[in-house]
Amino acid sequence: MDDYAIVLNAGSSSLKFCVYRRPEVEAWRLEARGQIEGIGTSPRFSAKDAQDQRLADDGLDRTVNDGRGALDALAAWLRSRYGGARVLGVGHRVVHGGARYAGPTVVTPAVLEDLRALIPLAPLHQPHNLGAIEAVSERLPGVPQVACFDTSFHRGQPAVAELVPLPRDICRAGVQRYGFHGLSYDYIASVLPQVAPEIADGRVIVAHLGSGASLCALKNGRSIDSSLGFTALDGLCMGTRPGAIDPGVILYLFQSLGLSASEVETMLYKKSGLLGISGISNDMRVLLESAEPDARLAVDYFVYRAAREIGGLAAVLGGIDGLVFTAGIGENSAEIRRRISGACSWLGIDLDQDANLRKGPRISRAGSRVSAWVIPTNEELMIARHTGALLGISGPRLMARTTGV
Ligand code: ADP
């Protein structure tokens, strides 16, 4: 009988999952990945195998209208496909680990309580992440679960990088810069020694450019600063989020335009960034193909802001040795990589245009003072690795804790 670990990434309207087969020696092997999208509107289940072959793509009953319903639908699919197999552990992406969780942790009732206290710091994500943990513990009570945080990788940054310069009593209540996309940066840092050994121990900026976008300054493989802060709104321009803006604008929205807190929240999380500027789309592909002036302005601003923030983090690092592009835009758009690299040529990046079109991994010329790279991220694999390591189910320290799917 085969043994598996399941990785879950539960959001407000989607439940993403990966199924990994227990490693025989070192590496976790992906068996299937997929998602339930449109939870609450028109739910749809899709799954692919490790070779990207379709395993399922079906509309679901509209009664699948919340996270629990989605987990039930996933469990039914897992039973039909892997019936009789054993689940060794479930790893979860959890957006916020606060100041306390500087690494992944096995979930206990006390941990869950700590994580619930962080809901006000990530109200759009944390409740869904925790809901998935609770639903799994009800359905598979004997199966250990591991929470892997988007914030952990950034713990240990210098005090000035974590500081929000408000009165200290406000900060003591948890207002500090946490940083996000940590699982992505953790993964990139973990593969640098193999993919880009010449910069792995150096000063590297990683640009995670997806629908959420941020930068991380790595020194010796450790995060020393990042562009996302207290929430996932800071820093770079994103698909629907503005990135850094003058906080006075927010006061103006409340005081002069009379918007409510929930209207401002919706504007900041769902209506700004590329979508807000262009008025057309939050999808970089659509904007790059559009001739509309506002679409061009949105792309120009995305590149401008990225170059500006890269300059800032280069100052923090005292210069850089490498720049790594990752995530949806970073991995797939040669045009955006070309434009950001061009704007950073003053740092010493000399792009190799052909390598850039081929997606690298190295996309700078041999003599470039600063090297540039494309490295696909893999947050789910990072979660599987952490889950295996914490539960002692990877590599030689194999220890089966089992329950039927
Ligand atoms: P998420 O944060 O949802 O995980 P991804 O990392 O998958 O996001 O990135 C999604 C974004 O990547 C899409 O919104 C799209 O704008 C962008 N993207 C994907 N492929 C391309 C491409 N070929 N060119 C430009 N942008 C792309």
What is the model's pTM? 0.94
Residue to mutate (ligand 1; options 9, 237, 332, 383; most atoms within 8 A of CB): 332
Residue nearest to atom 12 of ligand 1 (CA): 328
Indicate which atom in ligand 1 lies nearest the CA of residue 327: 6
Extract long-range pairs of 46-49: CB within 8 Å, 24+ residues apart. Answer: 47/77
279 CA distance to ligand 1 centroid (A)?
18
285 CA distance to ligand 1 centroid (A)?
8
Q: In percent, how much of the chain has pLDDT > 90?
A: 85
What are the tens digits of pLDDT across the range 347-375?
Answer: 999 999 999 999 989 999 999 999 999 99
> Assign residue 360 a region: left if phi > 0, alpha if psi is -120 to 50, beta otherwise?
left
- Please state the three-class secondary structure of 58-83 as a single string: EECCCCCCCHHHHHHHHHHHHHHHHC
Q: In percent, how much of the chain has pLDDT > 70?
A: 96
The pLDDT value recorded for residue 26 is 65
The pLDDT value recorded for residue 401 is 35
- Residue 359 and residue 334 in contact, taking contact as beta carbons nearer than 8 Å: yes
Burial of 179 (0-12, 13-18, 19+ CB in 10 A): buried
The pLDDT value recorded for residue 64 is 87
What are the tens digits of pLDDT across the range 45-87?
Answer: 999 999 999 999 999 988 888 999 999 999 999 999 988 888 9
211 CA distance to ligand 1 centroid (A)?
6
Residue nearest to atom 24 of ligand 1 (CA): 333
Indicate which atom in ligand 1 lies nearest the CA of residue 288: 25
The pLDDT value recorded for residue 58 is 92
Mean pLDDT (the chain, rounded): 93
What are the Cα distances from residue 45, in Å, to 68, 77, 147, 284? 14, 9, 24, 25
What are the tens digits of pLDDT across the range 323-340?
Answer: 999 999 999 999 999 999
The pLDDT value recorded for residue 108 is 96
- Looking only at the bridges linking them, the beta strands covering 54-59 and 86-94 are unpaired
Q: What whole-number distance in Å separates Cα of residue 359 and Cα of residue 365?
A: 13
Q: How distant is the alpha carbon of residue 48 from its chain centre?
A: 20
Burial of 77 (0-12, 13-18, 19+ CB in 10 A): buried
Q: What is the token pair recorded at 84?
A: 């009789």
Among candidate residues 3, 61, 150, 352, the one labeled active-site is 150
Whether 328 lines ligand 1, by a CB cut-off of 6 Å, is: yes
Residue with tokens 């030689």: 396
376 CA distance to ligand 1 centroid (A)?
12
Q: Which amino acid is at 81?
A: R
314 CA distance to ligand 1 centroid (A)?
25
The pLDDT-based confidence of 404 (bands split at 50, 70, 90) is: very low
Whether 332 lines ligand 1, by a CB cut-off of 6 Å, is: yes
Least confident among 115-124, 206-215, 235-244? 115-124
The pLDDT value recorded for residue 399 is 34
- Looking only at the bridges linking them, the beta strands covering 86-94 and 145-149 are parallel
- Residue 207 and residue 330 in contact, taking contact as beta carbons nearer than 8 Å: yes
Q: What whole-number distance in Å separates Cα of residue 199 and Cα of residue 317?
A: 13
Q: What whole-number distance in Å separates Cα of residue 376 and Cα of residue 13?
A: 25
Whether 283 lines ligand 1, by a CB cut-off of 6 Å, is: yes
Whether 326 lines ligand 1, by a CB cut-off of 6 Å, is: no
What are the tens digits of pLDDT across the range 165-196?
Answer: 999 999 998 999 999 999 999 999 999 999 99
The pLDDT value recorded for residue 400 is 35
The pLDDT-based confidence of 280 (bands split at 50, 70, 90) is: very high
The pLDDT value recorded for residue 102 is 95
The pLDDT value recorded for residue 1 is 59
Q: What is the token pair recorded at 96?
A: 């916020």
Whether 210 lines ligand 1, by a CB cut-off of 6 Å, is: yes
The pLDDT value recorded for residue 25 is 67
Which of 106, 78, 80 shows the shortest CA–CA distance to 19?
A: 78
Whether 211 lines ligand 1, by a CB cut-off of 6 Å, is: yes
What are the tens digits of pLDDT across the range 301-311?
Answer: 999 999 999 99
What are the tens digits of pLDDT across the range 252-278?
Answer: 999 999 999 999 999 999 999 999 999
Q: Rounded to a whole number, what is the distance in angstroms from the first to the last CA of the chain?
A: 12
Confirm whether 294 is a catalytic residue.
no
Instruction: Identify each DSSP E strand in 203-326 by its residue range.
Output: 203-209, 213-219, 222-226, 322-326
What are the tens digits of pLDDT across the range 98-118?
Answer: 999 999 999 999 999 999 999
Whether 335 lines ligand 1, by a CB cut-off of 6 Å, is: no
3-state DSSP assignment of residue 298: helix
Contact partners, residue 107, CB within 8 Å, separation at least 6? 92, 133, 137, 144, 145, 146, 147
The pLDDT value recorded for residue 298 is 98
Whether 273 lines ligand 1, by a CB cut-off of 6 Å, is: no
Q: What whole-number distance in Å separates Cα of residue 137 and Cα of residue 209?
A: 34
The pLDDT value recorded for residue 403 is 38
